[in-house]
């Protein structure tokens, strides 16, 4: 897991960004719609193989360093960004690119927090 964490530490991810066959679309989308600066990231790509259900794959952005990645994901809290489409304003979150074990650990922490909050409200 440490090797996987090291490999992902300067990456951020955005979910539910529509996929287009044009190879440069994601790059232009980051710069033109979300306001990324070209010198702040090295590359971007879609994770995995295209889905059969039509949902867009996760967009992975390799930032120039860990510090820049943390800036864009609001130090791990997720940075909310908006962009305009024909349907109106869309909102998405920029998050850290976590390995499976870290995603599961954070999920458990959120679940425990929700349970504690539910008990306190009773």
What confidence tens digit (pLDDT) does each residue in 69-108 have? 999 888 667 889 999 988 899 999 999 999 999 989 999 9
**What local confidence, expressed as pLDDT, does residue 22 receive?**
85
CB distance 66 to 6 below 8 Å: no
Residues with Cβ within 8 Å of residue 51, at least 6 apart in sequence: 57
**What local confidence, expressed as pLDDT, does residue 14 receive?**
96
The pLDDT tens digits of the residues spanning 9-68 come to 999 999 999 998 888 999 999 999 999 999 999 999 999 998 899 899 999 999 999 999
**What local confidence, expressed as pLDDT, does residue 75 receive?**
66
pLDDT at 122 over 90: no
Residues with Cβ within 8 Å of residue 10, at least 6 apart in sequence: 62, 63, 64, 65, 66, 68, 69
List the structure tokens of 93.
Answer: 């979150």
């Amino acid at each position: 897991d440490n090797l996987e964490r090291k490999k992902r530490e300067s990456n951020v991810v955005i979910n539910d960004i529509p996929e287009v066959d044009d190879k440069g679309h994601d790059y232009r989308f980051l710069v033109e719609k979300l306001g990324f600066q070209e010198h702040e990231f090295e590359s971007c790509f879609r994770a995995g193989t295209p889905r059969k259900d039509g949902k867009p794959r996760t967009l992975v952005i390799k930032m120039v360093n860990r510090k820049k990645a943390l800036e864009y994901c609001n130090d791990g809290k997720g940075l909310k960004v908006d962009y305009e489409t024909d349907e109106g304003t869309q909102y998405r979150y920029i998050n850290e690119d976590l390995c499976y074990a870290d995603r599961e650990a954070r999920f458990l922490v959120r679940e425990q927090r929700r349970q504690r909050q539910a008990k306190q409200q009773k």
